[in-house]
């Protein structure tokens, strides 16, 4: 009798503690949203919050022990177990978790950092957030880096009184701007624009050796019949001559950026992959994902490096959590297995 | 706010007009005619969505214009399913919800087609946003039932009482809300190398999810002893969802990874 009373009391405490911890996490999440991602990351990894996470995990475990209902309802059990496993994975992959593992197991794993690799070169150094550089046990070679753009891009024309026109940046495209302003026609599109002078004439041509310099050749026809040629450069948006009453910009949206890399271990290429946004390379306990690139000359790539420690555990937790919620709220009603009625 | 004098815009306005007509007709107790107008509005919404899909050449869930257009379309099937299968009322209110969610698509947000940036080019994009849209409509229905519960009105016929209907709607929407959160996290891992980035939108999504977790715990602890407080949880959940969907993207208070979704 006494032990049943004690158990009931403990259950009540656990329920109230659970509700309070949930309410606290709602408040912390809203606070975190207001202070920005970087500050929120520091806040949720702080020592007081570490205590909170541990307390939440302990409470979830005790809930499974205290409430028979959680064992009777498969879905509810999976939901709570899933949450415990997600917390465990999160703790293992957190900054504090890494520090503890390094101390306990004398390891020196890189948690997160970035690599800057020039085309054709091999790199092992990973720059950590605080300026420290650590070496990987293998190397990454950047074979090729490519940027793909949506075609055909866009030519934007802005008049002095703020009017704007947008034209597909394709040779042959014509657009009438009005009686006063005349019309524009896109004559040529360049990827590696270069200009040379022959006698008195300026001649534009493609020169791949000079590096990328995307540009458009635009023919302006005024209403009085006069014609002038303008060159519009992607890298100098809004550039205009002092006597121009029109301002031009040439924009192309990046469709994809790809780093063709090889993993080199002991002078042997062990794997090769095109790293793209959403398609990271997974090798040697690390994930290498496309973080940035050299926007001027496209000659180097910036790869984000993160350890995969705890990741599998988090994803296992996700599977259990999803299986639990769908079973408990949807499927058990469909398949008629109502376990114990609510 | 601007009127869209395009085929796309006209389709949206026609769908809104049908939904509004359905609402008015339902108020005058002509159920059959009301349902027909509701169905016509849905079909027009489907055409508007399909038109948009063809125009932008990717699943139209990239920006707030497309998201609200999608919300305006999914209202009808969810309403019919909830009424016929889950025995949850509020069909008349659903018609008004249809008008309300189509309004920003018709008058507020720009319909200029946009190409997908690299981060959105993944198979997770469609499912992640779509399951959220479904759950948002279900949670909106839950909040409507919660408000009806506050007014003290009871349902007639085979329909559930507002308190039970609120619970059932949250039970229907919560798995989708969970799946949306999980898919977003897996996407974040692939795109940015972190399954949880503490981004404002992520944190507001978590807060919304936790409100419903709180609701379940509170209802388990007290059952129907405090129905008004149960309903309060559902309404707070909807407020958190609105902030997640709109305020985080539109306000400069929350700069983050989801700012492209304008």
What is the per-residue DSSP string for A44-107?
HTSHHHHHHHHHHHHHHHHHHHH-HHHHHSHHHHHHHHHHHHHHHHHHHHSHHHHHHHHHHH--
Distance CA(B241)–CA(B207), nearest Å, equals 9
On whether both B127 and B195 belong to a single domain, the answer is yes
> A136 CA to chain B: closest CA distance, Å?
17
Runs of H (alpha helix) within chain A: 2-35, 37-44, 47-66, 68-72, 74-93, 95-105, 311-326, 332-334
Proportion of chain B above pLDDT 90, given as a percent: 88
- Name every chain B residue with its beta carbon within 8 A of the beta carbon of A290: 118
Closest chain A residue to B125, measured at CA = A278
ipTM: 0.94
Q: Is the pLDDT of residue B188 over 50?
A: yes
Domain boundary among B92, B115, B138: B115
On whether both B143 and B110 belong to a single domain, the answer is no
Q: What pLDDT tens digit does each residue of chain A (342 aa) get?
A: 567 788 889 999 999 999 999 999 999 999 999 998 999 999 998 989 989 999 999 999 999 999 988 888 999 999 999 999 999 999 999 888 888 888 899 888 899 999 999 999 999 999 997 789 999 999 999 999 998 999 889 998 888 778 888 889 999 998 888 877 888 999 999 988 988 888 778 888 888 887 788 899 999 898 888 888 888 998 877 666 766 778 889 998 899 989 999 999 988 999 999 999 999 999 999 999 999 888 777 789 999 999 999 999 999 999 999 999 999 999 998 886 555 444
On whether both B214 and B126 belong to a single domain, the answer is yes
Contact B118 A29 (CB under 8 A): no
Number of domains in chain B: 2
The pLDDT of residue B139 is: 98
> A150 CA to chain B: closest CA distance, Å?
8
Can you list the pairs that A39-48 forms with residues at least 24 positions away whose Cβ atoms lie under 8 Å? Answer: A40/B198, A40/B203, A41/B197, A41/B198, A44/B198, A45/A94, A45/A95, A45/A96
Contact A36 B195 (CB under 8 A): no
On whether both B87 and B139 belong to a single domain, the answer is no
Contact A329 B210 (CB under 8 A): no
On whether both B136 and B185 belong to a single domain, the answer is yes
Interface test with B, best of A90, A278, A325 (most B CBs within 10 A): A278
On whether both B181 and B258 belong to a single domain, the answer is yes
- pLDDT confidence band for B38 (50 / 70 / 90): very high
Domain boundary among B115, B137, B153: B115
CA B10 to chain centre: 22
- Name every chain B residue with its beta carbon within 8 A of the beta carbon of A33: 200-201, 203-204, 207, 248, 254
Contact A25 B210 (CB under 8 A): yes
Instruction: Tell me which residue has tokens 């008349």.
Output: B92
- Name every chain B residue with its beta carbon within 8 A of the beta carbon of A30: 203-204, 207
Contact A33 B204 (CB under 8 A): yes
- Name every chain A residue with its beta carbon within 8 A of the beta carbon of B117: 253-254
- Name every chain A residue with its beta carbon within 8 A of the beta carbon of B254: 33-34
On whether both B108 and B217 belong to a single domain, the answer is no
On whether both B102 and B17 belong to a single domain, the answer is yes
Any idea what DSSP says for residue A210?
Answer: G
- Name every chain A residue with its beta carbon within 8 A of the beta carbon of B121: 255-256, 277-278
Of A29, A36, A321, the CB nearest to B255: A36
- Name every chain A residue with its beta carbon within 8 A of the beta carbon of B115: 150, 253, 255
> B24 CA to chain A: closest CA distance, Å?
34
Beta-strand relationship, A268-276 and A254-265: antiparallel
The pLDDT of residue A238 is: 63
The pLDDT of residue A341 is: 45
The better pLDDT of the pair A236, B204 is held by B204
3-class SS at A133? Answer: strand
Over chain B, what is the mean pLDDT?
A: 94
- Residue B9: give the domain boundaries: 1-115
Contact B191 A26 (CB under 8 A): no
What's the CA angle centered on B115, arms B113 and B118, to 5 degrees?
155
Size of chain A in residues = 342
Contact A278 B187 (CB under 8 A): yes
The pLDDT of residue B259 is: 57
Proportion of chain B above pLDDT 70, given as a percent: 96
The pLDDT of residue A342 is: 42
**Contacts of residue B226, Cβ cutoff 8 Å, sequence gap at least 6:** none
Distance CA(A327)–CA(A324), nearest Å, equals 5
On whether both B34 and B77 belong to a single domain, the answer is yes
On whether both B55 and B168 belong to a single domain, the answer is no
- pLDDT confidence band for B172 (50 / 70 / 90): very high
Domain boundary among B115, B133, B161: B115
Contact B175 A23 (CB under 8 A): no
The pLDDT of residue A11 is: 93
> B160 CA to chain A: closest CA distance, Å?
16
Q: Is the pLDDT of residue B251 over 50?
A: yes
Contact B119 A26 (CB under 8 A): no
Of B191, B199, B257, the CB nearest to A278: B191
**Contacts of residue A139, Cβ cutoff 8 Å, sequence gap at least 6:** A122, A123, A124, A263, A264, A265
On whether both B39 and B99 belong to a single domain, the answer is yes
Contact A22 B189 (CB under 8 A): no
Distance CA(A173)–CA(A181), nearest Å, equals 17
On whether both B202 and B106 belong to a single domain, the answer is no
Q: What are the Cα distances from residue A297, in Å, to A147, A259, A262, B220, B246?
A: 11, 14, 21, 61, 38
CATH number, residue B182: 1.20.120
Distance CA(A4)–CA(A65), nearest Å, equals 14
The pLDDT of residue B15 is: 98
Q: Is the pLDDT of residue B108 over 60?
A: yes
């Amino acid at each position: 009798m006494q032990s049943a009373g004690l158990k009931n009391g403990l259950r009540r405490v656990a329920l109230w503690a659970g509700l309070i911890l949930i309410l606290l996490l709602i408040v912390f999440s809203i606070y975190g949203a207001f202070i920005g991602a970087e500050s929120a990351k520091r806040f949720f990894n702080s020592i007081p919050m570490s205590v909170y996470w541990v307390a939440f995990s302990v409470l979830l475990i005790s809930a499974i022990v205290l409430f028979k209902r959680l064992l009777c309802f498969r879905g509810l059990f999976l939901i709570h177990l899933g949450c415990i496993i997600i917390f465990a994975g999160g703790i293992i992959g957190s900054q504090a978790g890494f520090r503890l593992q390094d101390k306990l197991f004398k390891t020196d794993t890189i948690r997160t950092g970035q690599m800057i690799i020039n085309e054709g070169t091999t790199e092992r150094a990973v720059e950590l957030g605080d300026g420290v550089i650590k070496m990987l046990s293998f190397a990454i070679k950047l074979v090729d880096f490519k940027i793909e753009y949506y075609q055909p891009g866009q030519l934007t024309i802005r008049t002095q009184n703020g009017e704007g026109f947008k034209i597909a940046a394709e040779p042959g495209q014509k657009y009438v701007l009005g009686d006063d302003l005349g019309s524009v026609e896109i004559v040529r599109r360049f990827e590696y624009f270069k200009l040379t002078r022959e006698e008195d004439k300026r001649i534009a041509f493609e020169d791949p050796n000079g590096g990328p310099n995307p540009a458009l050749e635009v023919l302006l026809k005024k209403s009085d019949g006069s014609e002038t040629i303008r060159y519009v450069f992607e890298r100098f948006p809004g550039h205009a001559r002092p006597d121009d009453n029109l301002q031009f910009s040439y924009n192309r949206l990046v469709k994809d950026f790809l780093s063709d890399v090889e993993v080199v271990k002991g002078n042997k290429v062990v794997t090769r992959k095109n790293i793209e946004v959403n398609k990271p390379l997974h090798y040697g306990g690390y994930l290498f994902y496309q973080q940035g690139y050299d926007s001027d000359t496209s000659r180097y790539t910036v790869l984000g490096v993160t350890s995969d420690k705890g990741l599998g555990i988090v994803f296992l937790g996700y599977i259990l959590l999803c299986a639990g919620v769908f079973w408990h709220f949807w499927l058990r009603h469909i398949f008629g297995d109502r376990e114990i009625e609510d | 706010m601007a009127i869209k004098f395009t085929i796309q815009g006209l389709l949206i306005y026609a769908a809104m007009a049908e939904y509004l007509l359905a609402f008015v007709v339902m108020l005058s107790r002509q159920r059959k005619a009301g349902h027909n107008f509701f169905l016509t509005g849905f079909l027009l919404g489907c055409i508007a969505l399909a038109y948009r899909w063809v125009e932008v050449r990717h699943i139209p869930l990239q920006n707030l214009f497309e998201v609200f257009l999608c919300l305006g379309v999914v209202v009808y099937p969810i309403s019919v399913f909830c009424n016929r299968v889950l025995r949850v009322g509020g069909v008349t209110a659903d018609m008004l919800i249809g008008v309300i969610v189509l309004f920003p698509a018709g008058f507020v947000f720009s319909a200029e087609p946009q190409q997908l940036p690299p981060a959105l080019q993944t198979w997770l994009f469609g499912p992640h946003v779509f399951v959220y849209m479904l759950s948002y409509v279900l949670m909106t229905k839950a909040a409507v039932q919660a408000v009806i519960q506050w007014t003290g009105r009871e349902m007639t016929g085979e329909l559930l009482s507002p308190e039970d209907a609120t619970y059932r709607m949250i039970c229907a929407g919560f798995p989708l809300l969970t799946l949306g959160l999980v898919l977003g996290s897996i996407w974040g891992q692939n795109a940015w190398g972190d399954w949880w980035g503490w981004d404002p939108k992520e944190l507001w999504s978590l807060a919304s999810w936790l409100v419903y977790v709180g609701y379940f715990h509170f209802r388990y602890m007290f059952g129907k002893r405090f129905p008004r407080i149960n309903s309060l949880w559902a309404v707070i959940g909807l407020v958190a969802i609105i902030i997640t969907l709109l305020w985080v993207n539109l306000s400069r208070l929350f700069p983050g990874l989801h700012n492209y979704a304008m």
